[in-house]
Amino acid sequence: DNLLTEIDKLKIKKPIFVKMPIDKTWKVADNLLAVCSKHNVQGITLGNLFKDRKKVKLADKFDDKIKGNFSGKPCWDASNELLARAYNGYGDRFVFSGVGGVFSAEDAYLKIRLGATFVQIATGVIFEGPMLIGQINRKLVKMLEKDGYSHISEAVGVDNAKFLKEGVSKK
């Protein structure tokens, strides 16, 4: 709240986004979103970094002596849950940037259908190469057409309630 109060005083005209942690409880995340909603914040980025390694489900064994944290697919479930909850509670207040584990058009489309206005990718490009962006865009167009949408904005949040109903644990 103190930081955002000082940022408000700067009268910044460009959109301000806050990147949310994904390894906190929903109660903590909801409190952070409530604080952001009182300030000149237009968007929220959700989320792609696990700092607490104990919360990460990995397919392969990982040496704890290696420095760094986890992003990409290990963040997939947590970032999707946080995105869905945030959109459900604050979709009328913020635009959401969906990140964390996007490696395909299907991944990007799920983030959009959960409430992301746009999607960012980093780890996917590192592993798959820069051509991944064009591949995702081309396939997204086909997916939107197949579902009867003429603009991507029509798909934002359409699966949110279903996702929340079908298994997000109460944290």
Q: Per residue of the chain (171 residues), what is the pLDDT tens digit?
A: 999 999 999 999 999 999 999 888 999 999 999 999 999 999 999 988 777 666 666 666 777 777 767 777 888 888 999 999 999 999 999 999 999 999 999 999 999 999 999 999 998 999 999 999 999 999 999 999 999 999 999 999 999 999 998 865 444
Using N-to-C axis directions, what is the helix angle for 26-37 and 76-90, rounded to 10°?
Answer: 40
